[in-house]
Amino acid sequence: MNSANWPGPDRGVVLQSLGDAVEGSLDLVAVYGATSFDLFHVGDELSDSFDDREDLVRRLTSLAEETRRDFVRHGLFSGLRPTHERVEYKSREVDGRKLLQVYCGGRGMLLFVSPDEPEEQLVRTAMGLLGV
């Protein structure tokens, strides 16, 4: 397994894999580790809802840190569904989109997708991309 500070998966592989796994639109893909945050993809509509790229990165970095802190502090908490002994995820609706947060071994992935998007295939794909 990669460390939490690993360089991360290949951007092209991530986008291709998640694109194949999603039924609707893939509005955002961000991958983070203990000390890194990489914004892989932002859809035009989502991008337009922020003042500028710095505002978007600031909001997503805050969201990633909140997710990391919650998963570490609570382990399992309400709404969390374990899909693998080392993988946890949760989802919620944010501004009309589904925010899917996958976290495993100190690394995570944030995805914004259509609200009715099935989660299981996306979580399994994220697991593979994060090296689980």
What's the CATH class of domain 11-129? alpha beta
Structure tokens at 4: 């939490």
User: pLDDT higher for 84 or 25?
Assistant: 25
Q: Where residue 13 falls among pLDDT bands split at 50, 70, 90? A: very high
Model confidence pLDDT, tens digit, residues 62-121? 877 777 676 666 454 444 444 445 567 889 898 889 999 888 767 788 899 999 999 999
CB atoms within 10 A of CB 69: 10
pTM tops 0.85 = no
Domain boundaries, the chain: 11-129
Stretch (H or E) spanning 107: strand 107-113
Model confidence pLDDT, tens digit, residues 28-73? 998 887 677 788 898 888 888 888 888 887 887 787 777 767 666 6
pLDDT at 76 (0 to 100): 45
pLDDT at 73 (0 to 100): 60
Q: What is the distance between the alpha carbons of residues 4 and 6, in angstroms, rounded to a whole number? A: 6
Using the 8-state DSSP alphabet, how is residue 84 labeled?
B
